Chains A and B, each alone.
Chain A
């Protein structure tokens, strides 16, 4: 199982170039870790309680599989930044079903499968989603 730490709240900057290049936005994947990861106390506070992150647990794939899929299909790093964008891969949390969003907001975590979540995994530079190629 892979656990994705995802930014739940936009950070902003008055400089628009720095805002896009440097600031994490809602849905950005911050780090990817294996199941059972010992998240920090500040990482597991639900957004409804003022937390800044949510953890999405993908139960049927490993971190290595996700990293490999992103590298092989998007020539990219799931935790990578570009010169102009902070993080190149995000979860379209705003498109998740409302029940999922409520669970994330109230509990800070949600478990799902790759087949269910992949349509919401988006390449911010190309706008492509992680549908198509199978994960290996």
Chain B
């Protein structure tokens, strides 16, 4: 049974004063050490890009980066909670080069106006049983005015990125990945190619050039995603999926919805569903026994009955406090996607 080693990331008084420094300190063979290395991020603006690389990990000895519930956003960008805000034409604010990583509850924003990507998987080989999970995150972009490179909210930064990568994205809100010049594009979520397996579930994507883009091979599943106000909501071909919503009718799979969703205040980047919404509300599929097997929304509210499409579930009188990392069904070895 591995030992969980938890470090705190705080602006002062913590173990480390940046997530980048934590990663620099902890990179090691944690399989040999029989450890799960956990970074708990507390409320402050962290300004150093993070590349996760140089480790040895496996399915039970992995890297976990999260925010404790009291330090977590409330489903809308919150400047009083932990946020990773960088300005640099890196491959991403967080670049994941390890095969066993879990990122939960972060706010991420790249403010540079060229190739401003969020959480990305580069063009390297991952292990065939890799398990990367990104959940309950808010990922913001910036309009690319230089037209130099494709920007991605979450995903591979190219159609040849991340051979063998297996990853799961759920309950994330991604917005403002777009370009204003050149032939490049901003994609909210980019599911790549090269033997990748991925499932994207209950994500909300808003105001991107392409909301969710699927590559040309590998297994790409998509459920309960809500894409709005994009030049093209969905593009590509998926392996399986249901209950996705779009404004332009491009959503994949069956049991989808076409229409304009009603958010609490999209102009102020509040993508909670308004109780009067008719597009996403109650039109999702119950994914509690699905590929990822989760049952809460981005706020930690319990999803029950008829699920809503997107990252937020409308609840009466507010939801339960977020209680920890969700997930169970993302196993290793022989693995069957879909439900």
Contact = CB atoms under 8 A, between A and B. Distances in A.
Interface of A: 5, 7, 11, 13-14, 18-19, 21-24, 28, 30-31, 33, 37-43, 52-53, 77, 79-81, 83, 86
Interface in B53-108: 53-56, 88, 90, 97
Interface in B3-54: 7-18, 20-21, 24-25, 27-29, 48-49, 51, 53-54
Identify the 7 closest CB pairs spanning chains A and B, nearest first.
Answer: A38-B12, A22-B54, A22-B53, A23-B54, A40-B16, A40-B17, A42-B15
Given A5-B21, A43-B17, 5 more contacts: A13-B29, A40-B17, A42-B7, A42-B16, A53-B21
A104 to B, nearest CB: 17
Chain B binding surface SS class: loop
A30 B51 CA distance: 11
B16 A13 contact: no
Contacts, number: 85
B56 A31 contact: no
A80 B95 CA distance: 12
A90 to B, nearest CB: 13
A40 B51 CA distance: 19
Nearest to B123: A83
A33 to B, nearest CB: 8
5 contacts: A14-B56, A22-B53, A23-B53, A42-B25, A53-B24
Contacts of A24: 24, 27, 54
Interface of B: 7-18, 20-21, 24-25, 27-29, 48-49, 51, 53-56, 88, 90, 97, 122
Nearest to B56: A13
Contacts of A22: 27, 51, 53-55, 97
A11 B23 CA distance: 11
Contacts of A14: 56
B53 A40 contact: no
B20 A39 contact: no
B21 A86 contact: no
Contact of B20 (A18, A19, A31): A31
Contacts of A42: 7, 15-16, 25
B56 A40 contact: no
Nearest to B86: A79
A5 B21 CA distance: 8
Contacts of A18: 53-54
A37 B21 CA distance: 13
A97 B70 CA distance: 47
Nearest to B52: A22
